[in-house]
Structure 1
């Protein structure tokens, strides 16, 4: 057997077996990877020295725990933004640097970069993957680009116009639907301590807006009520399916609410970040079960439409839809084709429909809940909005908001935007740059670094917004917008990966707000809400307000 000299390691000649050679090659490869990683780490540390950082809480944990998802954490973040108005560096543990960007001049380089240069960071979104698949929120590269082009027509104003009737109907159900009696829907008890009674909803509980307020005012949790209303609207717009979820229990709606709650909870359980541990836990099993229910519902709708389409033919299908005046989201996806004439697969359609249901309900509910809170705190602005709506609908029956009305509610729109500034539904956007990115002042963000585009921080930055904590709708007066960077206000993100459904969301928010103020006066509760950023900006224990009907 041939001999291999290892004298350079201080060893004598040894037999050169294939296993020994394989071991040496493997060890050499591992050593090379460790050295390469070490070089990259120290090189990034050197290049990131130009970005300021607050004092670490610990040499090992870094800045973990500095900004918690609580009201106190939001105040800490506001102080950090005031101290570091361009942005700052923080460490997640001893080896992972994160750049938080909170100024329009700095975020421009990242947010306007191509989807390939600054894709979404998988760490912050991976928990949604089993539910949402490769929809627009989670996909990347060529697949994202292809789907974005194919989905854009689904949000053209000609498609959105017929949805106005759905928005009007859903909010009216929330306001005045007759009480049907209690029927419990178990939801979200995953968020409650052991031994706490399961959280339930009552069928027809939305009737409390009119019924409970009939003898004065009613105290309501805006998030609870509006989330169900937005899900009702979305199910009709996406699937043309009316589950009557505001009137009676719906397993599908309950599953979506449960999935959102479980994903939020998992973010705070470090050990359960590992998939194999999570799916052995009770919450992991519930997550799988809810995913299966949601996917089965979407798949059944897609199969039925696929079956109907060939028998009718595309032209007959479109003529039938034209009579009903509504082309829903599934219809648009089924009829979409790319430049090569290829259609979306059933799996792709399911991912996009599930993504729209997820992204469309919580964000809109958050935006609406907080704008009602601000108008309750500022009755003078509330009354001006109400007068604007009353003047618009004077002499009109039924009292419904139409598409063209959206452009003639300027003050109400200003109030919505100012609330979205103070309480952006999505407080932070995560990106991981795949190549060096140069910011306008010459500093370089190294390849591989996670960038957190702090929407909340940008909106609360005193270098961008004077008196940032003050609710002042006149910031969005057309005259005041001219001198401001378009990236100073980014509730729907910006750049190539901005929110494709922002026109849908703004239309729904305006309709719901206008009709709510037309029929109710909104008053502040005795307890001040405490902000709680999760997947969206929530309030601890709900956002409670009082409503009283107008004569």
Structure 2
């Protein structure tokens, strides 16, 4: 046999082995008699790389309900995954059986990848311990302390939009997605790091550049992600990092230098970093209004455990990421809908102005957080455009689904399709119509529970949702008090999502005409 024939035979043999290996992977659910969707693609399973995951899960959701099933097994690339469509089962997984489903199944390897050791990604007791320490940082009292700082950034947003009003034509409009990303970058930079990012003044700021980089997935990043999710333990043993080296270097250096400066000069600020420093040095936060002193002058002793610099940096990192893109896209989607629905915009503006006037013309934390129609508008935005289209949980042991004999094996991802539920006409008639009245007090009470999950649910609900909502409210109040927003000739009839970004983000800019009031 010649060399060419030998090489050809080797290639054919290898391809055949890979083919049968993948086919066996895709038969995971069928071999177990588990309800599953047939005909997975060889390399991508039931995913469609050409569209956003929200649309894929929506199709799976409707397919499952049409079959009368409560759940379905699919192939995520060639990894088994369960999509849950039944609301009672969702409640069971997120709340009732949380002891089994307390992990997200996210990759974390703090030894090799320090920034992965954050609250969002950690599992088990590590997550539980950290959650207990961080929960007091997001109380309403702590949020009030940051409110004034947020208003200062909002004043700069007002100036930027005022300048935009003079420069843009009615037809062309101003691109709002980028402006709002700059606003949230400055808010997070100030409230998390105590640093002036100046993104509103400088669109090329380092903060904004590195924040955007985390959410922009190149092909190489996606391939690494697939490998990590498929072979998580192997990835940990190999020391593979989910965070790019330059992103890690930027945030680690920033946090280290800021912490060293504050501790050297005893700097105290009403921001997230200051609260983390208290946890780092004392093991826990003191109650607001108390000095939190311990018997030895505030050092960590006994059973208390503070934070290492790497642990602290990881929490600041996830705080920045969680508040940066999700809040800016929520405001962006909201402005898009308000521009398309001028009657809703006018009513909201009247409600905002009325609430502030009733408080002597002062915008305070309590005023901002208690404008009922603003809550309705934001909730309808979060219904139609939830920041995360789904949430994952991962059982720590084999789990038999209640009322069935079907078993979800330990370590297999379970997915709750939030976007699909939010767009189910059974719960929200005409789901593509923007209608804040879906969230009146009466409408909410009448609706089936677990049909509105923008922040997840249960003990692992988003810990920073109060901060995120405050940021969105301050931004919207600031803009709507001084400006009216209209569609431009570049405003799409319907928003499509960028398939390369995990969270819901528009695939094109949001060009709106800004009218100064």
TM range (shorter): 0.7 to 0.9
**Distance in 2 between the 1:285 and 1:122 partners?**
10
Tell me whether 1:467 sits opposite 2:430 in the alignment: yes
Helix, strand or coil at the partner of 1:497:
coil
Q: Distance in 2 between matches of 1:495 and 1:136?
A: 15
Q: Pick from 143, 168, 174: which aligns with 2:157?
A: 174
Could you say which residue in structure 2 is the equivalent of 1:410?
372
**Of 250, 256, 270, which residue of structure 1 is paired with 2:223?**
270
Q: Deviations over 1:99-148 (max 9, x none)?
A: 1223422211222243663411236x889x84732010111111111110
Q: What is the CA deviation profile of residues 463-519 of structure 1, one whole-angstrom value per residue up to 9, with x for unaligned ones?
A: 333332222211111111113344211111111111101111111111211221111
SS at match of 1:482: helix
The yes-or-no answer on 1:518 pairing with 2:472 is: no
| CA-to-aligned-CA distance 1:219-278 (integer Å, 9 cap, x gap) | 1222211111001011111122213222134323322222332xx334874378558xx9
Deviation at 1:210, TM superposition (A): 3.7
The CA distance in 2 between the partners of 1:459 and 1:417, in whole Å, is 11
Tell me, in whole angstroms, the C-alpha distance in 1 between the residues paired with 2:308 and 2:437.
47
Q: Which moved more, 1:101-110 or 1:493-502?
A: 101-110
TM-score (structure 2 length as normaliser): 0.78
For structure 2, the residue ranges without an aligned partner over 5 or more in a row are 1-22, 229-234, 236-240, 285-301
Describe the shift of the 1:143–1:72 C-alpha distance in structure 2 as closer, same or farther (beyond 3 A): closer
1:173-322 aligned within 5 A: 173-177=156-160, 208-212=163-167, 219-248=173-202, 249-261=204-216, 264-266=217-219, 269-270=222-223, 287-309=244-266, 321=268
Are the equivalent residues in 2 in contact too, given 1:82–1:461 (CA < 8 A)?
Answer: no
* Whole-angstrom CA distance in 2 between matches of 1:394 and 1:433: 51
CA 1:445–1:243: 2 relative to 1, 3 Å:
same
Looking at structure 2, the residues matched to 362 and 501 of structure 1 have their Cα atoms a distance apart, in angstroms, of 13
Distance 1:42 1:515, change over 3 A: closer
Residue number among 390, 399, 406 corresponding to 2:353 in the alignment: 390
The one of 325, 328, 335 aligned to 1:362: 325
Q: Secondary structure at the residue paired with 2:450?
A: helix
Q: Kindly tell me: are residues 285 and 134 of structure 1, through their superposed partners in 2, closer, same or farther at Cα, counting changes over 3 Å?
A: closer
TM-score (norm 1): 0.74
Q: Any conservation in 1 of the 2:29–2:73 contact (CA below 8 Å)?
A: no
CA distance 1:409–1:497, change in 2 (3 Å): same
| Secondary structure, aligned partner of 2:485 | strand
Separation in 2, partners of 1:508, 1:359: 12
Pick from 83, 92, 95 the counterpart of residue 76 of structure 2: 92
Bigger CA radius of gyration: 1
Residue-by-residue CA offset, 1:33-56 (whole Å, 9 max, x unaligned) = xxxxx999988645552x352x42
Structure 1 residues 86 and 135, CA gap change in structure 2 (3 angstroms): same
Q: What is the aligned-residue RMSD (CA, Å)?
A: 3.4
What is residue 505 of structure 1 aligned with on the other side? Answer: 468
Instruction: Give the alignment partner of residue 160 of structure 1, picking from 143, 147, 152.
Output: 143
Give the match for residue 453 of structure 1: 416
Q: Given the alignment of the two structures, is residue 542 of structure 1 paired with residue 509 of structure 2, yes or no? A: yes
Contact kept in structure 2, 1:78 and 1:460, CA below 8 Å: no
Task: Select the residue among 346, 349, 354 that pairs with 2:309.
Answer: 346
- Separation (CA, whole Å) in 1 of partners of 2:199 and 2:306: 32
- Cα distance 1:162–1:412, how it changes in 2: closer, same or farther (>3 A)? same
By how many angstroms is 1:289 displaced? 2.0
CA separation of 1:447/1:419 partners in 2, compared to 1, >3 Å: closer, same or farther? same
**TM-superposed deviation, 1:537:** 0.6
Contact 2:102 2:123 in 1 (8 A): no
- Return the match for 1:530 from 488, 496, 513: 496
Structure 1 residues 520 and 422 mapped into 2: Cα distance closer, same or farther (>3 Å)?
A: same
1:409, distance to aligned residue in structure 2 (A): 1.0
| Corresponding position: 1:433 with 2:395 | yes
Q: Out of 341, 345, 365, which is 1:378 matched to?
A: 341
Aligned in 2, Cα 1:268/1:457: closer, same or farther, shift over 3 Å?
farther
Distance in 1 (CA, whole Å) between partners of 2:327 and 2:66 is 31
**Superposed displacement of residue 82, structure 1:** 6.1
Q: State the secondary structure of the residue aligned to 1:295.
A: helix
| Secondary structure class of the residue paired with 1:161 | helix
1:136 is matched with 119
Q: Cα distance 1:258–1:41, how it changes in 2: closer, same or farther (>3 A)?
A: closer
Structure 1 stretches of 5 or more lacking a match?
A: 1-37, 178-205, 279-283, 310-316
For 1:61 and 1:39, locate their aligned partners in 2 and report how far apart those are by CA, in whole Å: 14
Contact 2:53 2:389 in 1 (8 A): no
Q: In 2 relative to 1, CA 58–236 (structure 1 residues): closer, same or farther, beyond 3 Å?
A: closer
**Alpha-carbon offset, residue 438 of structure 1:** 4.5
Query: Is 429-438 or 81-90 further displaced after alignment?
Result: 81-90
SS in 2 for 1:492: coil
Match in the other structure for 2:274:
331
Count the aligned residue pairs.
455
What's the counterpart of residue 14 of structure 2? none
1:378 to partner: Cα distance: 1.2
Please name the residue that 2:299 is paired with: none
- 1 CA distance for matches of 2:487 and 2:152? 26
